[in-house]
Amino acid sequence: MKKSILMLAASVLFFSACGDPELDITGTTYEPKIVVEGYLYPGEPVTDIRIMRNFKLNTSIDTSTLFIDNAIVTINGEPLQYNNITRSYFNNSILVDYNKSYELKVSAVVDGTQLSTSSVTVVPSQGFNLLTKNLGVNRYGLDTPEIRFNPSPSSDFYALSIIPDSASLSNFIYDNKFQPDIKIEDLIESFINFRFQYAYLLNVSTNSADTISNKIQGYDTWFYSTYRVIIYAGDKNFRDYVITAKRVREFDGNFHEPVMNFSGDGIGIFASAVKDTAYFTIVP
């Protein structure tokens, strides 16, 4: 009897410890949000403020409703108008100034729900100065292009957008030390990720007399080409978005909230920056 009970118990335990459990996350609760993408640059009018909506994964993206064209959008109380061609909001009469604060307010209906949000950006001060715009011709693996600049007194964050003028399978640097065995199909699949590269400098000195330098690393250049590097001296919103928006996914598939500095129902970025451009070439 005792033996049978034990055998039965062991069998039950064994069979419950087999199998491949199902995983279905499609039932996850979705909350509609107002999505903002807007940048202000000193000396330029307010343009290209995109107001969009988020959408559920695995559902058809209705491009006709992705961009919200009937939102009420204001900056410092001044209304913005919608441009059907660029699908963005603008107000040419607002000229962005250094060191000034701008508050964006948006209200819109998404999925039948009235949503509203606001965010404030403070434009960095004057002073950002790129010392050399032409970084020359650099041999891959031997020379390192170096960005050098004087910082803005109110910005300690600099984002570098590094994009080759020409990017194709033929000028890809196959003989690299980071992915030396890359397969052509993987390259094609991730091509866009090799082409668009960015880096950032965090918490640099804000003393305008200082010279900040940063070397462009080998893992930021994947093609033999001429590159253009746009350097953005960003405000806090710029910094928080660039650092956190793409890093919401942890190693084990767990997600955490990014820092976007919106109050209410908004996500995305409303930021300001001072920018300049440098160039360099990578040759074998």
Partner 1 sequence: MLNKIGIVLFILFFVVTNAVSFSQPVNGRTISGFVYDQATGEALIGANVFIKEEETGSSTNNSGFFSVPGLPDGEYTMIISYIGYKTESLNISVPQKKEQTLTINLIPEALVTGEVVVTADSVKTIDKLFVKPVSKIELNAKQVNAIPRVIEADLLRALQTLPGITALSDFSSALYVRGGTPDQNLYLIDGTDVYNPEHAFGIFSTFNTSAIKKVEVSKGGFGAEYGGRLSSVLHVTNLDGNRNYFEGTANVSMLSASATLQMPLGKIGSLSGSIRRTYIDQTYAKWIKEVPDYYFYDGNLKAFFDLGERDKLSISYFHGKDVLDFQLDKEKESFSFDYSWGNTTGSINWRHIFNPKLFANIWLTASVFKSDFDFESVNFGEKNSISDYAAKIALEYYLTTKVNFKLGLEQKMLSGYLKQDWEGGRVDVERDRSLSTGYISSNFKPAESLDIEAGLRMQYFSAERNFFNIEPRFSVKYRLTEESNIKLAAGKYHQYLNRIPRLFFASIWTTADEYTNASSSSHYILGYQRALGAVYEFEVEAYYKSYKDLYVFNPNLETEVTPGSFDNGGRPVYNSTKGLLNRGDGESFGLEFILRKDIGALTGWVSYSLSKTNYSFDKLNQTNYFTPRHDRASVVNAVLNLDIKSFLDEIMNRKHYKSSSKWLLGLNFVYATGQPITVPASAYYVNTLPDWNSITAGGMNNPGYNLYPGTINDFRLPAYTRMDISLTYEINYSGWSLAPYLQVFNIGNRKNLWFIDYNEEIKDGIIVQEIDKVNMLPILPSLGVNIKF
Residues 196-215 touching partner 1, rule: CB under 8 A, are: 196, 198, 201-205, 210-215
**Taking Cα atoms as reference points, which of 4, 86, 11, 48 lies closest to residue 271?**
48
Q: CB nearer to partner 1: give 248 or 283.
A: 248
Q: Which stretch binds partner 1 (CB under 8 A): 18-26, 70-78, 89-97, 119-127?
A: 18-26
In terms of phi and psi (left: phi > 0; alpha: psi -120 to 50; beta: otherwise), the region of 169 is alpha
Cβ-based nearer residue to partner 1, 77 or 203: 203
Q: How far is the CB of 164 from partner 1 (least distance, A)?
A: 13
Say which DSSP state 24 is in: -
Q: Which is nearer to partner 1, 77 or 250 (CB)?
A: 250
Instruction: Tell whether residue 183 is a contact of partner 1 (CB under 8 A).
Output: no
Q: How far is the CB of 263 from partner 1 (least distance, A)?
A: 11
The amino acid sitting at 165 is D
According to the binding rule CB under 8 A, does residue 252 interact with partner 1?
Answer: yes
Residue closer to partner 1, measured from CB, 17 or 142: 17
Total site size for partner 1, rule CB under 8 A: 89
Residue numbers 133-172 binding partner 1 by CB under 8 A: 159, 161, 163
Residue 238 one-letter amino acid: F
The C-alpha angle with vertex 217 and arms to 215 and 220, in degrees rounded to 5, equals 125
105 binding partner 1? (CB under 8 A)? no
Q: Which is nearer to partner 1, 112 or 253 (CB)?
A: 253
Residue 191's region, left for phi above 0, alpha for psi from -120 to 50, else beta, is: alpha
User: Is residue 283 within 8 Å of 140, Cβ to Cβ?
Assistant: yes
Q: What count of residues does the chain have?
A: 284
Stretch that binds partner 1, among 68-76, 115-123, 126-134, 233-241 (CB under 8 A): 233-241
String marking each residue 259-278 x if it binds partner 1 according to CB under 8 A: x-------xxx---x-----
CA–CA dist 103, 88 (Å, integer): 17
Do the Cβ atoms of 100 and 40 come closer than 8 Å? no
| Kind of pairing between the strands at 266-283 and 134-139 | parallel
Instruction: Tell me whether residue 58 or residue 134 sits nearer to partner 1 (CB atom).
Output: 58
Taking the complex as a whole, the smallest distance from the CB of residue 214 to partner 1 amounts, in Å, to 7
Name the 3-class secondary structure at 26.
Answer: coil
Q: How far is the CB of 28 from partner 1 (least distance, A)?
A: 5
